[in-house]
Amino acid sequence: MPPPSATDALGQGEFRSLSESHRSVVLPAGAGAFRRFLAFAGPGYLVAVGYMDPGNWATDIAGGSAFGYTLLSVILLSNLMAIVLQALSARLGVASGMDLAQACRANYSKPVSIALWVLCEIAIIACDLAEVLGTAIALKLLFGLPLTWGVL
């Protein structure tokens, strides 16, 4: 007789063992060192490219030219927080099969979920604004286009 199934913390399935929760990149047998490197570096490269967009470059350069090294501790702490958040979100996805938004919806009341959604939308708008302005500044520096045309 199989043991009774226990539900996970979200009440949506069974507990997974540690070996089932922590997965890795599957490598073909006999893969060389370069192929093993590419298997792990490929996804990391894609995330890094998405993380350092023109808006980030422009904001970092403008902040560095205005404040020098005084904001270096803020950049360090914000990057550490981003690494922790991404690692925890990845673990949540592997363990529960849900992303962060789905887990918030499953665990919080509707008003709290709506407030979190609105805050995320505001953060997305702020990030998009930085990307658009960074691209406009780059187009002005490279081609002399007015900022208005670069934004459009």
Q: What is the pLDDT of residue 1?
A: 41
Q: What is the pLDDT of residue 19?
A: 56
What is the 3-state secondary structure of 95-122? HHCCCHHHHHHHHCCHHHHHHHHHHHHH
Is the pLDDT at 5 greater than 60, yes or no?
Answer: no
Average pLDDT of the chain, as a whole number = 79
pLDDT digits (tens, 9 = 90+) for 77-120: 988 898 898 889 889 988 888 888 899 999 999 999 999 999 99
The dihedral through the CA atoms of 111, 117, 119, 125 has a sign that is negative
pLDDT digits (tens, 9 = 90+) for 21-59: 556 667 777 778 888 787 777 777 766 766 666 667 777
Q: What percent of the chain has pLDDT over 70?
A: 75
Q: What is the pLDDT of residue 116?
A: 95
- 3-state class (DSSP) for residue 146: coil
User: What element of type H or E holds 49?
Assistant: helix 33-51
With b for 16 or more beta-carbon neighbours within 10 A and e for fewer, the 5-31 pattern comes to: eeeeeeeeeeeeeeeeeeeeeeeeeee
Torsion of CA 69, 74, 80, 85, to 10 degrees: -150
